[in-house]
Amino acid sequence: MNSSFLMSQAHALFSADGLAGLIFLIMVAVMLIGGLMACTSERLVRCVAGLVVCFVGVAGIYFYLNSPFVATMQMLIYVGAVSVTISFAIMLAAPEQSKKIGPSGPLSGPLGFLTAGLIFGGLAVLGCRTVWPVKPKINSGTMEDIGAQLLQNYSMVFELVSVVLLIAILGAIILARGGRNT
Applying CB under 8 A, which residues contact other proteins?
16, 19, 43, 45-46, 49, 52, 68-69, 72-73, 75-76, 79-81, 83-84, 87-88, 91, 95, 97, 142-143
CB of 29 to other proteins, least distance (A): 17
- Sequence-distant (≥ 6) Cβ neighbours of residue 116 within 8 angstroms: none
Contact yes or no for 11/21 (Cβ under 8 A): no
- Share in percent of the chain as helix, strand, coil (round to 5): 75, 0, 25
Compute the least distance from the CB of residue 158 to other proteins, in Å.
17
The residue among 91 and 124 lying less far from other proteins, judged by its C-beta, is 91
Q: How far is the CB of 88 from other proteins (least distance, A)?
A: 7
Q: How far is the CB of 168 from other proteins (least distance, A)?
A: 17
Nearer to other proteins, 28 or 146 (CB): 146
Q: Which is nearer to other proteins, 95 or 106 (CB)?
A: 95
- Report residue 28 CA to chain centroid gap: 11
Pairwise CA distance, residues 149 & 22, whole Å: 32
For other proteins, give the closer residue by CB, 97 or 182.
97
Q: Enumerate residues 6+ apart whose C-beta is below 8 A from 156.
A: none
